[in-house]
C-alpha cells in the first residue's frame, strides 16, 4: 500500500514536471523570439536610415559645392549674356555651351543625375545638360512656374533647397530636385538645379536581406503617401498609396519605436519605425515583417506543445482508467469470495 502511494506520488510529480517545464520554457522562448525579431528590425531600420540620410546629405552637398565652383559662376555669367543677346540657337551660345557640356556630362554619368540646369536670377533656364521642355522657358512667369522645377528654383534663390518627387514623362519615372544659389562675389547670378532619379532610392529600399519572405522597407511622406514602392503591389505605389497606420502616425510626430500593428494592407506585422533626420523634408522610414513569419518558430513550438500535451493527457487518462479498473477488481474479489 505504501509502495503504491510512493509510486503514485512520484508519478504525479513527474507529470507536473512534464507539463510545467515545457510551459515555462515556452514562455521564455516566446519572449526571447519577440525581442530578437524586433532587434533585427531595429538593426535593419538604423542601417537603412543611415544609407538614406547619407544619400540625401551627399546630394545636398553636391549641389552646394558645385554652385560655389568659380567655373559655374563664370558659366552663368557668359551663358546668361549669350542667351539674352542671341538665344539658344545662336552660334555664339552653342559654342559657349559646348565649353561646359563635358563637366555637366561628367556629373550626369558619374553621379547618376538626370539633368543639370542653369537658371538666371530672372527665371530663364539658360542651359541644361540635356535639352528638355523646361530649357529656354522662364520659371518665374512661364507655364512651369507652379511645377516642381519652378518651386525649387524660387526657394533656391535663398539657399539650398529640395523639391519632392514628381513624375517625369520623358523618362517614365519619378524625379526630384536640389537647387542652390550661384553668386559672383556678393551678386546673385541665378540658381543651379540638379535633377535626381527615384531609381537611386528605390534600389536602396529593395535590398531586403534578412527580412524573409514578407519583410519590406518603405518611406512615407508628411502627406501620408508612400515615397517608395511596395513589394506586394505590382503597380508603382510612390505618391499613389496612402498609408495611415499607428506606426506612421507616431513616426511623423517624431517618435521612433517598435510595435505589432496592422500595416497598410491590414495585415498584422512587426513594425520598426523612425523619422528621417533630413532638414528639408519630413519623411519616415518603416521596416516591417508579417507577424506570422516572425513568430513562425513560436507557432511550431505551440504545435509541439499541443501534441505533447495531448500525449501526456492520453497517457494520464489511460493510467487513471487502468488504475481505477485494477482497484475495482481488487475490491470485488473479496466480495465474490465471501459469497461463495
Q: Is 324 exposed, middle or buried (0-12, 13-18, 19+ CB in 10 A)?
A: exposed
Give the DSSP letter of residue 131.
Answer: -
Whole-number Å distance between alpha carbons of 42 and 48: 10
pLDDT at 3: 57
> 29-55+211-294: which CATH topology?
Beta-Lactamase (3.30.450)
Every domain of the chain and the residues it spans: 29-55+211-294, 69-200
How far is the C-alpha of 87 from the C-alpha of 73, rounded, in Å?
A: 19
- Concatenate the DSSP letters of all residues of 153-192 into one string: HHHHTSS-EEEEEEEETTTTEEEEEEEEEEEETTEEEEEE
pLDDT per residue rounded down to tens, the chain (340 residues) = 555 555 555 555 555 555 555 555 556 666 777 888 899 999 999 999 999 999 999 999 999 999 999 999 999 999 999 999 988 989 999 999 999 999 999 989 999 999 999 999 999 999 999 998 999 999 999 999 999 999 999 999 999 999 999 998 878 889 999 999 999 989 999 999 999 999 999 999 987 767 888 999 999 999 999 999 999 998 999 999 999 999 999 999 999 999 999 999 999 999 999 999 998 899 999 999 999 898 876 655 556 556 656 666 676 666 666 666 665 666 665 555 555 5
pTM for the full predicted model: 0.80
Q: How far apart are CA 213 and CA 127, in angstroms?
A: 47
Q: At 72, give phi and psi (nearest 5°).
A: -65, -40
Are both 29-55+211-294 and 69-200 of the same fold?
Answer: yes
What residue has cell string 494520464? 316
**Neighbouring-strand partners of residue 119:** 125, 191
Of 71, 57, 59, the residue nearest 189 (C-alpha): 71
CA distance 133 to 266: 42
Quick check: 63 and 215 in contact, CB under 8 A?
A: no
The pLDDT score that the predictor gives to residue 33 is: 77
Question: Quick one: cell of 19?
Answer: 507539463
Phi and psi (nearest 5°) for 152? -70, -30
Write down the pLDDT at residue 301: 53
- CATH architecture designation of domain 69-200: 2-Layer Sandwich (3.30)
Long-range (24+ apart) CB contacts under 8 A made by 241-246 are: 243/218, 243/286, 245/271
Amino acid at each position: 500500500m505504501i509502495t503504491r502511494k510512493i509510486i503514485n506520488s512520484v508519478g504525479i510529480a513527474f507529470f507536473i514536471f512534464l507539463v510545467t517545464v515545457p510551459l515555462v520554457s515556452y514562455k521564455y522562448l516566446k519572449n526571447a523570439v519577440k525581442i530578437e525579431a524586433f532587434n533585427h528590425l531595429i538593426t535593419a531600420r538604423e542601417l537603412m536610415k543611415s544609407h538614406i540620410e547619407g544619400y540625401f546629405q551627399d546630394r545636398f552637398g553636391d549641389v552646394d559645392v558645385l554652385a560655389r565652383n568659380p567655373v559655374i559662376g563664370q558659366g552663368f555669367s557668359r551663358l546668361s549674356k549669350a542667351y539674352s543677346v542671341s538665344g539658344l540657337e545662336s552660334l555664339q551660345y552653342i559654342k559657349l555651351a559646348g565649353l561646359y557640356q563635358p563637366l555637366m556630362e561628367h556629373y550626369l554619368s558619374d553621379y547618376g543625375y538626370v539633368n543639370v540646369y542653369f537658371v538666371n536670377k530672372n527665371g530663364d533656364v539658360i542651359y541644361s545638360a540635356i535639352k528638355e521642355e523646361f530649357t529656354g522657358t522662364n520659371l518665374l512667369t512661364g507655364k512651369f512656374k507652379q511645377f516642381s522645377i519652378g518651386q525649387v528654383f524660387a526657394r533656391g534663390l535663398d539657399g539650398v533647397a529640395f523639391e519632392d518627387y514628381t513624375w517625369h514623362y520623358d523618362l517614365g519615372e519619378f524625379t526630384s530636385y536640389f537647387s542652390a544659389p550661384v553668386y559672383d562675389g556678393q551678386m546673385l547670378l541665378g540658381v543651379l538645379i540638379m535633377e535626381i532619379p527615384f531609381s537611386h532610392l528605390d534600389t536602396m529600399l529593395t535590398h531586403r536581406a534578412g527580412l524573409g519572405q514578407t519583410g519590406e522597407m518603405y518611406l512615407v511622406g508628411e502627406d501620408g503617401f508612400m515615397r517608395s514602392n511596395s513589394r506586394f503591389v505590382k503597380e508603382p505605389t510612390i505618391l499613389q498609396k496612402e498609408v495611415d497606420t499607428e506606426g506612421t502616425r507616431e513616426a511623423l510626430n517624431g517618435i521612433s519605436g517598435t510595435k505589432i500593428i496592422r500595416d497598410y494592407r491590414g495585415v498584422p506585422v512587426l513594425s520598426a519605425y523612425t523619422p528621417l533626420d533630413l532638414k528639408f523634408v519630413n519623411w519616415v522610414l518603416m521596416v516591417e515583417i508579417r507577424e506570422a513569419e516572425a513568430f513562425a518558430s513560436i507557432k511550431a513550438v505551440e504545435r509541439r506543445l499541443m501534441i505533447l500535451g495531448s500525449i501526456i493527457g492520453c497517457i494520464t487518462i489511460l493510467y487513471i482508467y487502468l488504475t481505477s479498473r485494477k482497484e475495482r477488481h481488487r475490491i470485488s474479489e473479496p466480495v465474490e469470495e465471501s459469497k461463495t
